[in-house]
Amino acid sequence: MAERAAKQLELNKSELPNSITEVIATLTRAGFDAYIVGGGVRDTLLGLRPKDFDAVTDAKPHEIKDVFGKRCRIIGRRFQLAHVYSGRELIEVATFRGPPTSNANTNQDGMILRDNVWGDIKQDFARRDFSINALYYQPLKGVVHDFCGALDDIDNRIIRLLGHAPVRIEEDPVRLLRALRFKSQIGL
């Protein structure tokens, strides 16, 4: 795992919306690990304006609800998420995912039907779709965790599926469409 200082990557906490830093800070003060993950980190590194910022944490959905109270709503059957309201903004907060426990959560074609298996940051990384979406930014500590060379992929404009590509596409066929969208919208 590479851990890089956000300053080296020109990620500046002061440029983030207050909503995402407030959610990360609140979870951290409550004793949980919390990171900005996904497209918000990717787009910021590409010099683009992210449409939103998502958080990931080791807090389970009910613990996120306990921390944020009425500002939080748990959604989703296939994969539970917490929607946390910060002012007028909605921040999606996911719990670190772990490896699937059995084939009972997939259909006969291997597509994931239910995925509420919790894990740690490294297990969550292994479940991400593309390397460019698998960067974990902790703005309070000013560090970015890169478990797979995602920073190099961003620099080299490479879209790379994590894991065994045929299996990852079988799990969620929409990943192919996402790759095409990344290619056209953000020039990767």
Higher per-residue pLDDT: 13 or 54? 54
Give the pLDDT confidence score for residue 36 in this predicted structure: 97
Residue 102 pLDDT exceeds 80: no
Q: How confident is the model at residue 107 (pLDDT cuts 50, 70, 90)?
A: low
Residue 129 appears among annotated catalytic residues: yes
Q: What is the CATH number of the domain that holds 172?
A: 3.30.460.10
Give the pLDDT confidence score for residue 14 in this predicted structure: 77
Q: What's the token pair of residue 66?
A: 């306990």
Residue 129 pLDDT exceeds 80: yes
Residue pLDDT, tens place only, 165-178? 888 888 888 998 98
Q: Could you list the residue range(s) of the whole structural domain that residue 51 is in?
A: 2-186
Q: Which of 58, 115, 129, 146 is catalytic?
A: 129
User: In one letter, which amino acid is 22?
Assistant: E
Q: Which of 43, 54, 124, 146 is catalytic?
A: 54
Give the pLDDT confidence score for residue 61 in this predicted structure: 95
Q: How confident is the model at residue 140 (pLDDT cuts 50, 70, 90)?
A: very high
Residue 155 appears among annotated catalytic residues: no
Torsion angle in degrees (nearest 10) through CA of 146, 153, 151, 90: -80
pTM: 0.85
Overall number of domains in the chain = 1
Residue 109 appears among annotated catalytic residues: no
Residue pLDDT, tens place only, 16-75? 899 999 999 999 999 999 999 999 999 888 888 898 999 999 999 999 999 999 999 999
